[in-house]
Amino acid sequence: MMTIRRSIVLALPLLALGVRAHAQTAPYDIELGLRIVTVDGNKEMYRTQTGETSGIVLRSFSLLTPGPDGAKFFDRLRIDASDLGAGPAGSLRIEADKAGVYRFRLGYRHLNVFSALPAFANPLVGSGITISQHTYDRTRNIIDADLELFPESSVMPFIGYSFNRLSGPGTSTYSIGGDEFRLAQSLEESEHEFRAGAGFHLGPFRGSVTQGWRSVRGNESSSLLSSSGDGNNPDPLLGRPVSARDILRNDRTHVSTPFSNLYVTGQLGKRLRLTGNYVRFAADSTGDGSENTAGSFVSFALSRFFNELSEQASSRAKNITWRGGARAEVAVRDGVDAFAGYQKEHRDLEGSALIDTLFLQTLTFGGVDPRDVARVLNTSGSISRGEDVLNAGVSARAPGPFAFRVELRDAKQTVTVSPDLSEIVVPGNQDGHFARDIRTLDTNASYTLFGVTLGAAWRRDRANDPIFRTDFRDRDRLRLRATWRAPKWVRAAATAEETKQTNSQPGIDLAGKSRQYGGDVEVTPHEGVAVRGSVTRFIARNSSLIRRPENFATGRSLYAENGTSYEAGGGVRHAALSFDASMARFTNRGDLPFALERFRITAGCDLPPKTKMGVIIEIARDKYHEPSAAYSDFDARRVGIFVRYHP
């Protein structure tokens, strides 16, 4: 994939030169250059959050050309690329069309997926050891291609293909024998999806039928990271030091999923519109894994010490899900519609595994009875879930400047969990039948006059019982919005949103409230000159009862977020000159206090004036500070210089 990305970065400038002769009909724009990033402080935190890296970047490329009249292959070709090369994410999109013959879309996306956070999943961070225990440095490449034949005809066959691949190294932890050990991890997972079908337009009926196949293959191998054999816990357990000499684990997974997707719509008369939809997939997963571990370990499940472990596992899991429904919309009058619908979904999950574990060279905690111990876990479990949603409402969009919408929904959810007894390793409610009924009133209204829009939305949910402890019984969400657009020169907006959710049941006592409100203004005093600014507040408070596992005493979980975001910026564009600057500051005084400042300047001009060649310079600074964990702080500067060519 790296080769693909490099090829694209190199090929697009060549393509641009190739079409230069046709510049009148093939306008394109290319920005290619170098970006340099320097980071003071925690480079890993910077990469996790922002991910910019030094190197050559195709900042942007766009080509949009009509084919010559009567062209054989296309009458429109569009290519857009951005941020290919160094950096956290880049994309390429190609569209080609020939009216009445075909439509083709190809998308390529590349993402660097990096995470190394010292405080996350690191039990040693309190003792000053800030090396991240869970990290990854992976790439994700996604390709989507779709070809539709004979668009706008009564039957439109199509085929499509999607590819998604996640691969790269990482580190993880493995809890075994009374301690946790850091593992080096190598992961490669890829998904291929093929789909074929046809859209149709027959009289008053339109729709689409798709049949597809999805195949996922995953390979993961893990091994003990060098110098990690002592684990996280330096203390002996039951008088015996716990350490690992060797850990080697391999897992392979294959998932095959045929799926079908169908929808039909019908316009019956001038007023009635009907929709029917159905989707079904059946995922079948098989897996096998092996493990060989050596060292000095303690097993409380066996009540024995052991020195080696050898394990073979095979597994199979299925997920059969279908969803279907019907909707009707009736045009009561111009701009006023009544609608109603019913959707039903059902999911059956089944899983079974045979895990054969051999503990070698074991001893009782008393140091006697040396022998090897075999354990076989033959388990199967299932989860069945259903949901029925009924809704009805009215949408009125046309009484002058006023619009409103009212909708009622009733969602009935059921979950049945049937775990195998061998799976239950800790006491608790891991099986049974759970049901939940949620009734919703969802309304919104807006009023627009002379460039001013006032909007309000209110959603009220009432549920009988929770399935998860964090489920609400009562939830209310209110949104208010005001926007003023004076022609051409000013736009101002203010937004306020509050969500409250509660469940006063004894033992849960959930009370959560979040508020977001802010305002922004954009002024364009002169053509080509713009100034903007915004302030946003994020406030959240959540409280619920918990049971602390160390003593099973009831306590209270409290979470708070108190964030403020300031953003300001401005830009000037005049002939061949452009200048844009912005700054932003986000501070949080909640459970994880921090301050994040961002500063950006982008300036561009054509050199010499009135030519098609230009230069773009970008300067950026990101500064992150956590008052309670200075090892997370970073101060990163980024400078980029790009050459632009735009015939």
Of 451-459, 572-580, 602-610, 636-644, the window that binds another protein (rule: CB under 8 A) is: 451-459
Identify which range of 3-11, 359-367, 559-567, 609-617 contacts another protein by CB under 8 A: 559-567
- Whether residue 118 is preceded by a cis peptide bond, meaning omega within 30 degrees of 0, is no
366, 427, 487, 525: which one binds another protein (CB under 8 A):
427
> What gap in Å lies between CA 492 and CA 367, rounded to an integer?
77
Considering only residues 627 to 646 of the shown chain, the ones binding another protein according to CB under 8 A are none
Residue located via tokens 């950096």: 87
Q: Max alpha carbon distance in the chain (Å)?
A: 90
Cα separation values, 388 from 79, 445, 449, 465, Å: 43, 27, 40, 16
Minimum distance between the CB of residue 245 and another protein, rounded to whole angstroms? Answer: 18
Using CB under 8 A, which residues numbered 458 to 497 contact another protein?
A: 458, 465-471, 478, 481, 483, 491, 493, 495, 497
Cβ nearer to another protein, comparing 3 with 127: 127
Q: Which of residues 3-22 bind another protein (CB under 8 A)?
A: none
Q: Which of 546, 577, 619, 629 touches another protein by CB under 8 A?
A: 546
Using CB under 8 A as the binding rule, the residues of this chain from 105 to 144 that contact another protein are: 107, 109-111, 115, 117, 119-127, 133-134, 140, 142
CA distances from 487 to 73, 154, 266, 484, 525 (A): 43, 43, 40, 10, 11
What is the closest distance, in whole angstroms, from the C-beta atom of residue 605 to another protein in the complex? Answer: 19
Q: Are 259 and 212 in contact (CB under 8 A)?
A: yes
83 binds another protein (CB under 8 A): yes
Query: CB of residue 639 vs another protein: minimum separation in angstroms?
Result: 18
Q: Which of 8, 52, 6 is nearest to 30 (CA)?
A: 8
Residue with smaller CB distance to another protein, 112 or 296? 112
Q: Is 296 in the site for another protein (CB under 8 A)?
A: no
- Regarding 426 and contact with another protein (CB under 8 A), the answer is yes
- Residues between 379 and 398 with contacts to another protein, criterion CB under 8 A: 379, 381, 383, 385, 387, 393, 395, 397-398
At its nearest, how many Å lie between another protein and the CB of residue 364?
20
Residues 6+ apart with CB under 8 A from 533: 520, 521, 566, 567, 568, 569
Closest Cα to residue 254, out of 315, 167, 312? 315
**Closer by beta carbon to another protein, 232 or else 608:** 232
The phi and psi torsions of 226 (rounded to 5 degrees) equal -60, 145
Rounded Cα distance, 79 and 71, in Å: 18
Q: Please, which residue, 176 or 304, has the CB nearer to another protein? A: 176
Residues between 150 and 179 that touch another protein (CB under 8 A): 164, 166, 172-176
Asked if 502 is part of the footprint of another protein (rule: CB under 8 A), the reply reads no
* Interface positions, 86-105, toward another protein (CB under 8 A): 87-91, 93, 95, 97-100
From the list 49, 34, 88, 42, the residue with the least C-alpha distance to 638 is 34
Contacting range for another protein; rule: CB under 8 A; set: 6-14, 79-87, 368-376, 607-615 = 79-87
Residue 201 or 637: which CB sits closer to another protein? 201
Tokens 């225990």 found at: 133
Q: How far is CA 638 from the centre of its chain?
A: 26
∠ CA 294-134-54, nearest 5°, is: 125
CA–CA dist 440, 274 (Å, integer): 23
Phi, psi values for residue 472, rounded to 5° = -80, 160
Write out the binding residues for another protein, residues 200-239 only, by CB under 8 A.
206, 208, 210, 212, 214, 216, 218, 232-233
307-346 residues near another protein, rule: CB under 8 A:
313, 315-319, 321, 323, 329, 331, 335, 337, 339, 345
**Which stretch in 13-21, 363-371, 532-540, 608-616 sits in contact with another protein by CB under 8 A?**
532-540
- By the 8 A CB rule, do 92 and 81 touch? yes
Q: Is 447 in the site for another protein (CB under 8 A)?
A: yes
CB of 131 to another protein, least distance (A): 13
Pick 328 or 619: Cβ nearer another protein: 328
Under the binding rule (CB under 8 A), the answer on residue 25 touching another protein is yes
- Distance separating alpha carbons of residues 188 and 166, to the nearest angstrom: 6
DSSP H or E stretch at residue 16: helix 2-18
3 state SS of 4: helix
| 616 counts as binding another protein under rule CB under 8 A | no
| Residue owning tokens 């099986």 | 431
- At its nearest, how many Å lie between another protein and the CB of residue 611? 20
The total number of residues written for the chain in this structure? 647
- Which value, to the nearest 10 degrees, does the dihedral of the CA atoms of residues 118, 121, 127, 129 take? -40
Element spanning 179, H or E = strand 179-202
Residues 567-596 that bind another protein (CB under 8 A): 567, 584, 586, 588, 590-592, 594, 596
Q: Residue from 203, 234, 366, 400 that binds another protein (CB under 8 A)?
A: 400
Q: Which is nearer to another protein, 99 or 370 (CB)?
A: 99
